[in-house]
Amino acid sequence: MALSLALTVGTAWWVFAPSDAPLRVEVRDPDGTFLYPLDESRSIEAKGPLGITRIEITRGKVWVDDSPCTNKVCIAMGKISQPGQFVACLPNQIFVRITGGKTNPEAPDAAVY
C-alpha cells in the first residue's frame, strides 16, 4: 500500500509540478503538432479538412483570426495568454493551447467560465 501511495503521489507531483519552461503555442492539426514561441508575433495557417484556419500570435496572446467552420465558436473564444488555456476549432480539427511556464492559481478556470 505504501509503495502504491508513494508512486501515485510522485507521479501526480511530476505531472502537475509548475515549470519554468518558456511559454509556447502548441498548434495541432491533421498534419501534426507545431510549437511557436508566445513572445514572437506571427500569423499561422493551419490546414484542416474544411480549409485553412488562421491563427495570430501578437504581444503574448494567441487567437483564431479566421476559420472556414460554420459556427465560428473558435473565433468567439477570443484571445488566450495563460498556460493551460486553449482554443479549439472542432469542425476543422484544429487545437491551439499554451504550454510551459507556471499556471496562475488566481486565474478563472473552466468551472468559473
Q: Is residue 7 part of a domain?
A: no
- CATH code, 71: 2.60.320.10
Residue 86 clears pLDDT 90, i.e. is over it? yes
CA–CA separation, 57 and 64 (whole Å):
9
pLDDT tens-digit series, residues 22-48 = 899 999 999 999 999 999 999 999 999
Query: What global pTM score does this model have?
Result: 0.72
Phi, psi of 80 (to 5 degrees): -120, 155
Q: How much of the chain, in percent, has pLDDT values that exceed 70? A: 81
79-88 contacts: CB < 8 A, separation 24 or more?
81/38, 82/107, 83/23, 87/62, 87/63
Q: Is residue 46 part of a domain?
A: yes
Number of domains in the chain: 1
70's CB contacts (< 8 A; 6+ apart) are 91
Q: Which residue has the cell 459556427?
A: 71
